[in-house]
Amino acid sequence: MPGIHFESYGTEIGYGLHPGLPEQTYRDLPASNFSFAKLLNDPAITRAHLLCGSGLSTVAPHVAAPGTVAHVLTWEPHRQMADPPAIEVYEAQTRQGNFHERRQEVEPFGTTLVTRKEWDAGAGAAEAVKNNQQMRWFIDDPDTDKELSILVRDAQYGIDLKGRIDGYNHKHKIMVDLRLASRRLL
């Protein structure tokens, strides 16, 4: 199978594992993923929501932010050292005040704005993962590719499917995807 043709880009993305595929390219892939499947099973999300483009996020931003922090600090710490950094901390506990104005200023440069509370929660999770001996080995092993996109076609239904995983070790055939339990931040 040659893959999926992107009309807007005039390019084709083949089926298989894709390390380093930009997030926006992944999101634009005309394929279904688990998050979309969750939306279809959510009675609060109607067909009208899906058609008008609202409600397409299954995770609230304040819940997703600690996960973003944990992912960057665990899998791609070099992105935090870049200029501009992957994540900027807004020195407040909540997303009030000038948070949204600042977010609009930094987002065009690829930076995610998080509150101090969100940063602390995500950084703590990243430290827990990195302090685990087996995870430390997996992260540091040269045979581990990180931040992979998967594109496949379901043979039975002919549906294109996509997914993102945190890491895959080719030599040992180990796949890891870090998930943080979502809890209300106090």
Domain ranges of the chain: 13-43+61-176
The confidence score (pLDDT) of residue 114 equals 95
Contact 149, 26 (CB under 8 A): yes
The confidence score (pLDDT) of residue 22 equals 81
Query: Which residues of the chain are under the pLDDT cut of 70?
Result: 1-11, 34-60, 62, 180-186
- Token pair 């020195």 is at which residue? 91
Pairing between β-strand 144-153 and β-strand 16-19 as defined by DSSP bridges: antiparallel
The confidence score (pLDDT) of residue 1 equals 42
| Phi/psi of residue 118, nearest 5 degrees | -65, -40
Identify any residues that bridge with 151 across adjacent strands, giving them in sequence order: 16, 162
Give the pair of three-digit tokens for residue 31.
């394929």
CA 174/CA 168 separation, integer angstroms: 6
The confidence score (pLDDT) of residue 23 equals 76
The SS3 of residue 73 is helix
Q: What type of residue is 52?
A: C
The confidence score (pLDDT) of residue 134 equals 94
Q: How many Cβ atoms from other residues are within 10 Å of residue 10's Cβ?
A: 7
